[in-house]
Structure 1
Amino acid sequence: MEEISNMCAGLKLSDKESSEIDIVPPIQNAGFILAGKFYMKRRINMELVARVLKTIWKTEWNFEVCDLGENRALFQFEKRDDLEKIVLLGPWSFDKYMLLLHKMEAGESMTKLSFDKVSFWVQIHGLPMLSQTMDTGKRIGSSLGIIEKVKVDERGFYLGEYMRVRVSIDAIKPLCRGRLVRVGGSSKIWVTFRYERMPIFNYWGGQMNHDEKDCIEGA
C-alpha cells in the first residue's frame, strides 16, 4: 500500500484531481469500533465468525460485524464498556488462529492500519524469587515490546512461581522464547517466556500468521 501511495505521489495531477474538497470533522460518537484481522491463510466465513464471537464475547449490548474481505472486519459496539472489555481480555483467537484488534480513533483510515501489534500476558519463568520485582519485570518486559503492566503487589514484589507482565509485541516478528539475564553481577541464567492464550503459530519460525504445515523450514 505504501508503494502504491508513493507511485501516486509522483503522478502529475489534473485540475480536477488537484482541487480540494472540504469535509466535516469525524463524528465523535458515531459508534465504538474495533478493526480486526484474522491471521490465517484460508478465507474465513465472517457470518460464522460473527455468530461465534457473539457467544464468546458475551457483550451487554449488541455489536455489528462488517466484512472487509482479506480476513479483515469491523466490529461496531453500541457501548464503549463492551469495546473496552474486549480489548482488556485479549488476545483473542478464532479456530486457534490469532485475531488482531485495533481500537479505531477519529481520523484513522483502514488503509493505514498495519495490524502488527498484539498484547499478551507473558509469564517469566526461572527468576530467583527475590528478584521478582517491578524493576525486573519492566527491564525484561521492555526487551519484548511496550510494557503495559507488571503484576506485582503493593510492595512492588511478586510472590509466586513466575512473574507476569503484559506487553504489546510485534506480531510479525518471531516470538522470543526467553532471555539470558545476569542477577547482580553473578553468573548468567536463562529465563523462559510463556505467552498466555497463545493460538496456533509456527514453532519453527515462531510466527503467529501460520502453523507448521505452511512452513518451508519445517518440511
Structure 2
Amino acid sequence: MDDILNICAGLQLSKRKGTEIVIGAPVIENNRVLARKFFTKRRVNLESVARVLRSIWKTAQNFELSDLGDNKALFLFQNEDDADKVLLLGPWSFDKYLFGLHKLKTGEAVRKISFDKMTLWIQLHGIPTMYQTKEVGHSIGTTIGSVESVDVNDNRFCLGNYM
C-alpha cells in the first residue's frame, strides 16, 4: 500500500505545448440552473430538501437537485420561468437555516461563487407619510446595501404603515 501511495505522490500534470481543448457552446440553451448554499456547518439531507421545496415552490415543471458537497447543490429547472420565480420569491430557508441561491451565468463555475450576498426584503417603519417616496426608500436602503427595488405605486409613493 505504501508503494502505491509513494508512486501516486510523485504524479503531476505538466503543460504540453500545442495541447488545447476547444469547448463548444453549452448544451443548455437558456439559464435555468440555480446554485444553492446552506449557511450552516451541519450536513443537510438533500432528499428532504428536494421533497419539501417541491411542495413549497409549486413550479410548473419538475426540477433536479445535484449535491456538490460542502452544503452546496445545483437546481436544474425544466424552464427558466420556474428558476426566475424561485429567485424572485426568496429569500428561502429550510429547517431554520437560510440558504442562498445564485443564478448561474454561462461559463460561471460554482466553486468561484462566494455566496456573500443575498437579496432580502426589508420593511422601513416610522417614516413620516409624506416622506414615503421611492427616493427616500432608496436612500435609506443604500445605507444597508445595494437596492434592487423600492415597492411604491405609480406615483413613486408608498401609502401605508411602512415602506
TM-score between both structures, scaled by the size of structure 1: 0.65
Alignment of 1:135-154 (within 5 A): 135-154=135-154
State how far apart, in whole Å, the 2-side matches of 1:103 and 1:91 are.
13
Q: Counting strand residues as a fraction of each chain, which structure ranks higher?
A: 1
| Offset at residue 15 of structure 1 (A) | 3.6
Query: Could you list the per-position Cα deviations for residues 141-161 of structure 1 after superposition, in whole angstroms to 9, with x for gaps in the alignment?
Result: 111122111111121111111
Q: Structure 1: where are the runs of 5+ without partners?
A: 1-12, 164-219
Alignment CA distance shift 1:67-1:120 (3 Å): same
Alignment CA distance shift 1:160-1:18 (3 Å): farther
Alignment of 1:140-219 (within 5 A): 140-163=140-163
Higher-Rg structure is 2
Query: Could you list the per-position Cα deviations for residues 82-140 of structure 1 after superposition, in whole angstroms to 9, with x for gaps in the alignment?
Result: 11110110000001111100001111111111111111111011111111111101101
Answer whether contact 1:35 1:74 (CA < 8 A) is retained.
yes
Equivalence for 2:92: 92
The alignment yields a C-alpha RMSD, in angstroms, of 1.8
Q: Structure 2: where are the runs of 5+ without partners?
A: 1-12
Equivalence for 2:82: 82
Answer whether contact 1:31 1:78 (CA < 8 A) is retained.
no
State how far apart, in whole Å, the 2-side matches of 1:47 and 1:77 are.
16
TM-score between both structures, scaled by the size of structure 2: 0.86
Equivalence for 1:45: 45
Q: Counting helix residues as a fraction of each chain, which structure ranks higher?
A: 2
Letter of the structure 1 residue corresponding to residue 91 of structure 2: P
Answer whether contact 2:31 2:104 (CA < 8 A) is retained.
no
Letter of the structure 2 residue corresponding to residue 154 of structure 1: D
**Identity across matched positions, percent:** 51
State how far apart, in whole Å, the 2-side matches of 1:65 and 1:30 are.
18
State the number of aligned residues: 151
**Counterpart check, 1:16 vs 2:3:** no
